Amino acid sequence: MTLTKNAPLKPSETNSTTSSPVQTNDKKKAKAELTRVVIHYDVGFNNSIFIRGSGVDLSWDKGIMLMNTRPNEWVWETDKSFNLCEFKVLINDSQYEQGDNHKLTSKNDLEYTPRFS
């Protein structure tokens, strides 16, 4: 195949391992628009961390299980916009953490180690 100067490449001729700057910026923008809660806690084998609260699809009646992203790290995130949410984390959606409820505003992160009795 002969290419002429300034001839655009077909999609099949581009290097698929190289991402365009637009995709990179979109990923950074998407990450910046997430609200995240990161919990550091060794909950033990066959146990999970849940979150309950009010605002942004949270409920005090039924918890949402956090993602176990690495040993002793649990993450809850949302891309929904909200003014304020209030929450607590639980072991197996039954044992609440000690202390006051946590408050979080949209597009902010909170990372901590909870205390359980």
Question: Who has greater pLDDT, 10 or 44?
Answer: 44
Q: Which class does domain 22-102 fall in?
A: mainly beta
Given a cut of 50, whether residue 1 has pLDDT beyond it is: no
Residue 37 forms beta bridges with which residues?
Answer: 76, 110
> Which pTM was predicted?
0.74
Question: Who has greater pLDDT, 20 or 98?
Answer: 98
| Domain boundaries of the chain, sorted by first residue | 22-102
If you write DSSP's letter for every residue of 93-114 in order, what string do you get? TTEEPSSSPEEE-TT-EEEE--
What percentage of the chain carries pLDDT values higher than 70? Answer: 73
| Residue type, position 107, single letter | K
Q: What phi, psi does 15 have (nearest 5°)?
A: -80, 110
pLDDT digits (tens, 9 = 90+) for 61-93: 999 999 999 999 999 999 999 999 999 999 999
Average per-residue pLDDT in the chain?
84
Given a cut of 90, whether residue 41 has pLDDT beyond it is: yes
Query: Cβ contacts of residue 93 below 8 Å, gap of 6+?
Result: 48, 50, 52, 62, 63, 65
Residue 91 forms beta bridges with which residues?
Answer: 49, 95
Query: Cβ contacts of residue 87 below 8 Å, gap of 6+?
Result: 37, 51, 52, 53, 54, 58, 101, 102, 104
